[in-house]
């Protein structure tokens, strides 16, 4: 399915601190690390921007920690803007240090993806990415350039973490990166991909809205019937290949939800106030030898838990039946507390995390839990009680 021809763009005023020149390197005090940013021309008249932070762990050199690339959703969400300053970067949007920054456990590579997002731009309107294949192709050019110019990262475990529509792009990018490594065009130690509340199956998402909201006492019987009716219309349009009509019906389904729930916030159902950043897509590889991570977040509707579980059950994976038979394990942030922070189920190279008390932007709502989850996925030791040792190897190749 094609992406929207134009991309919504998020610019944060503080990003102007980067300055007009490209290829900049800033060496900060030892406790603040080093930053590097640059542009890569991925196609004629198409330019992508990346921003790298070197890990700042007081006990380890950056070479002893993984490299995590963060992909925002939308499409059109800026990783260097929102993901960086609102979720996992070293500073928040007020330029105050973030206690739960992922930088303490990994180097962070933010990429404004696809072209037209954030600081990534095109010289001509016709050069925007039009499908997932082009998005992945552009990223291959960027990653080939990045790892060639930054050879110190070629042997460091490299992970792709994503959120929302970024999960769809991450899946396609991961597959193409795997092929590029096999062909020898990109040299890196690709170790895993994480799909956070991803927009993988739009139909499963819309079909889940009614039952999910009904179970949360946000729809009555009549509201459930109305939402389910429109959801079935979306399914019918998709089955007939009428994707433009399906997109319009998807928008109608959102309106029906809003009318029947008194304006529930799709990004956190416990609130009615929209978050600072909201983007919607035109419609937002499930089997490989690389680690797969699927997150479920119990307070948001946009990519709710029922939806995520529905498409995972459809994976074409020989080990799926064994995975489905497993019982999840509770996880606790504080070893002295009985309060459950998350649940996890893992088998071989697939893990599924249920993060509690979080909306769509998990690191913003549950920063400490999200940080510890990232460390688990990347194979780092975590003081997270309730976890079996087998989960610690999730980040490694099988």
Report pLDDT digits (tens) over 278-320. Answer: 444 333 333 333 344 444 444 444 444 566 677 777 788 888 8
How many beta carbons lie within 10 A of that of residue 229, not counting itself?
Answer: 12
Whether the per-residue pLDDT at 1 is higher than 50: the answer is no
| Tokens standing for residue 289 | 């030898």
Question: What mean pLDDT do residues 41-62 have?
Answer: 96
| Beta strands per DSSP E along the chain | 25-27, 34-43, 46-53, 67-71, 107-111, 121-122, 157-163, 189-196, 291-297, 329-331, 342-347, 350-355
Mean pLDDT of the chain: 81
**Rounded distance, CA 250 to CA 257, Å?**
11
Position 223 pLDDT exceeds 70: yes
What is the pLDDT at residue 16?
A: 37
* Strand residues in 112-214 grouped as ranges (E): 121-122, 157-163, 189-196
Instruction: Tell how far CA 83 is from the center of its chain.
Output: 9
Model confidence at 383, pLDDT cuts 50, 70, 90, reads low
CA–CA distance from 359 to each of 92, 135, 351, 375 (Å)? 18, 27, 20, 20
pLDDT (mean) for 106-112 = 97
Per-residue confidence (pLDDT) for residue 56, from 0 to 100: 93
Please, which pLDDT band fits residue 273 given cuts at 50, 70 and 90? low
Closest among 101, 24, 106, 102 to 61, alpha carbons compared: 106
pLDDT at 342 over 80: yes
* pLDDT for residue 256 is more than 90: yes
- φ, ψ for residue 62 (rounded to 5)? -60, -25
Compute the average pLDDT of residues 40-59. 96
pLDDT band per the 50, 70, 90 thresholds, residue 274 = low
DSSP 336: T
More confident residue, 384 or 227: 227
């Amino acid at each position: 399915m094609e992406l929207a021809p134009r991309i919504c763009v998020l610019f944060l005023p503080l990003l102007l601190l980067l300055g007009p020149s490209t290829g900049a390197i800033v060496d900060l005090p030892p406790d603040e690390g080093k930053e590097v940013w640059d542009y890569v021309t991925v196609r004629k008249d198409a330019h992508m921007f990346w921003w790298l932070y070197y890990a700042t762990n007081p006990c380890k050199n950056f070479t002893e920690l993984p490299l995590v690339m963060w992909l925002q959703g939308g499409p059109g969400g800026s990783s260097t803007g929102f993901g960086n300053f609102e979720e996992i970067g070293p500073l928040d949007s007020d330029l105050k240090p973030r206690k739960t920054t992922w930088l303490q456990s990994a180097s962070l590579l933010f990429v404004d993806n696809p072209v037209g997002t954030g600081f990534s731009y095109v010289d001509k309107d016709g050069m925007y990415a039009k499908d997932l294949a082009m998005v992945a192709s552009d990223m291959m050019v960027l990653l080939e350039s990045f790892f060639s110019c930054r050879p110190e990262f070629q042997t460091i475990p490299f992970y792709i973490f994503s959120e929302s529509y970024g999960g769809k792009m991450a899946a396609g990018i991961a597959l193409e990166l795997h092929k590029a490594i096999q062909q020898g065009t990109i040299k890196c130690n690709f170790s895993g991909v994480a799909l956070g509340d991803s927009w993988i199956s739009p139909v499963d998402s819309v079909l889940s809205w009614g039952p999910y909201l009904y179970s949360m006492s946000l729809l009555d019987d009549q509201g459930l019937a109305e939402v389910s009716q429109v959801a079935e219309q979306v399914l019918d349009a998709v089955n007939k290949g009428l994707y433009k009509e399906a997109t319009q019906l998807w928008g109608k389904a959102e309106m029906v939800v809003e009318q029947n729930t008194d304006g529930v916030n799709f990004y956190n159902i416990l609130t009615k106030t929209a978050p600072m950043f909201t983007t919607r897509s035109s419609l937002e590889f499930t089997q490989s030898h690389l680690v797969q991570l699927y997150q479920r977040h119990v307070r948001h509707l946009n990519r709710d838990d029922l939806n995520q579980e529905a498409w995972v059950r459809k994976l074409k994976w020989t080990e799926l039946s064994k995975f489905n038979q497993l019982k999840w394990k509770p996880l606790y942030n504080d070893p002295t507390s009985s309060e459950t922070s998350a649940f996890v189920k893992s088998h071989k190279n697939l893990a599924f995390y249920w993060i509690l008390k979080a909306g769509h932007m998990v690191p913003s709502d549950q920063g400490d839990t999200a940080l510890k989850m990232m460390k688990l996925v990347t194979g780092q030791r975590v003081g997270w009680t309730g976890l079996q040792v087998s989960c610690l190897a999730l980040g490694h190749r099988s």
